[in-house]
Chains A and B, each alone.
Chain A
Amino acid sequence: MEDEYFEQEAVDVEVSRPKKKDWLLPISILVAGVMIAGSLIYAVGSKSGGQNQGQTVVLGNNSAPAVSGQLPLVGNRDAILGDEKAPVTLIEYGDYQCPFCGRFFHQVESSLREEYIKTGKVRMVYRNFQILGAESIASGAAAECAKDQSKFWAYHDELYTAETKDNQENNGNLNRDLFLMLAQNVGLDMTAFTSCLDSNKYIEQVKKETADGQIMGLTGTPTTYINGEQVVGAQPYSVFKTVIDIALQKK
């Protein structure tokens, strides 16, 4: 009788052991794994561009339509800095207001010019990817007007030097007065430049180049292509040096 009582009121004491919610660990690992793998696959896949992988299309001549994932080549509208027959081509997609493009200009480009461009190893091309607003697009158009007078690179340098004094986006400093002053600084024909600027001759072209960049899958500025190899961001000079040296070895 007594035993029966204790059986009925017995307390089953049990150390806490995994019984329920055992799926939490595998699911958490799975979720993290899927997110990381998905992001990696997408990051790689979006750059390779599916059926257009590795396809090279000449841009910069304002005629070829952009294709997702394509690799850019130098076109007849591009202003080339350096030896036209240099074995390595570096194409920068930049925005004149982007502080990281400014950083690239000051910290990387100056060393590139000294070590690789002046020595005939690399030729450089700048493309418009003016994504930060109207001042960026107007700056791109002004630089294209300077290109008409074969002074693109001098004007490009003046623009970045002026913008990086404050590094503020869309604060009104990249305006007509500044464009004219910079044009004077680099010795442009002011009548021709003013006419080009005021007629908005290159606004649509700059917008098209920017749209082409988006179609190609660019995600930000600066983005550079070194013989077709994409480098995203204002990476340290050593990264560009390594990629260029590898490209030179392949030649």
Chain B
Amino acid sequence: MNIPIAQPYMVPFTALQEVFSRASYILLASGVSFAFFAFAVWLPNVRLIVDTVGKGGVAVSAKLQLLINLLQGIGTNFTLLSATYTIIIALLFGINIAVTVYFIKKKRTNLAGGGVFAGIGGMGSGILGIGCAACGSFILSSILSVVGAAGVIALLPFKGREFAILSIGLLIVSITLMTRKISEPVVCKPQFSKS
């Protein structure tokens, strides 16, 4: 009897299949992805949202309308490139969180160091790279302006969007490392006593 052996490059896909065969993880990934996407699109207008949604005297329907309409800004306020990487980062972010939660629950163990650090790097880099094309790298420019170095962005060849590309890479690395860990069989680790 021939038992099929998974090729190493198929391992992440097999593990992803395992994770997303459960509806709860699809929901988790979708929720986190949407939250990240909304965060990225709403961010430049947080003040407007706080002023409108957070205060009384405005109809609930108008508040909801504003939030929904602002999401449509992905089509008008972003270039095709920036809209594409924003959506990709949001999807990878959701997948990364779902895979991490699955890993913790299944293995009941501490996280895989490399995967976590790549994941943190991906999230951080993604947040730095957030920004509509009209307003540039919003967080990065804000942070740099605090330290009086806003001009640094102009020196970057892609005006801060490097961080978005870096983020995609780090999130893919993080998901790959996590899925490999998920696919590892649970084994007993020998610990020789030092007597």
Residue among A28, A48, A250 with the highest chain B CB neighbour number at 10 A: A28
User: By the criterion CB–CB under 8 Å, are B65 and A35 in contact?
Assistant: no
CA distance A192 to B130 in the complex (A): 46
Where chain B touches its partner, the secondary structure class is helix
A39 and B190 in contact, given A48-B47, A229-B52, A236-B69 (Cβ under 8 angstroms): no
B147 interface contact, C-beta 8 A: no
User: By the criterion CB–CB under 8 Å, are A100 and B133 in contact?
Assistant: yes
CA distance A36 to B97 in the complex (A): 15
A181 interface contact, C-beta 8 A: no
User: By the criterion CB–CB under 8 Å, are B110 and A25 in contact?
Assistant: yes
Q: Which of B58, B186, B193 contacts A10 (CB 8 A)?
A: B193
User: By the criterion CB–CB under 8 Å, are B190 and A43 in contact?
Assistant: no
Question: Which residues of B have CB within 8 Å of A10?
Answer: 193
**Interface range on chain A: under 10, 10 to 19, 20 to 34, or 35 or more?**
35 or more
Give the total of B residues in contact with A, Cβ under 8 Å: 56
A219 and B123 in contact, given A238-B69, A239-B70 (Cβ under 8 angstroms): no
A-B contact pairs, 18 of them (CB 8 A): A8-B195, A15-B188, A17-B108, A21-B110, A24-B113, A24-B116, A28-B116, A43-B139, A100-B77, A219-B141, A220-B136, A222-B134, A233-B77, A234-B73, A234-B134, A238-B72, A243-B52, A246-B58
Interface residues of A (CB under 8 A from B): 8, 10-22, 24-25, 28, 31-32, 35-36, 39-40, 42-44, 46-48, 98, 100, 103, 107, 219-222, 229-236, 238-239, 242-243, 245-246, 249-250
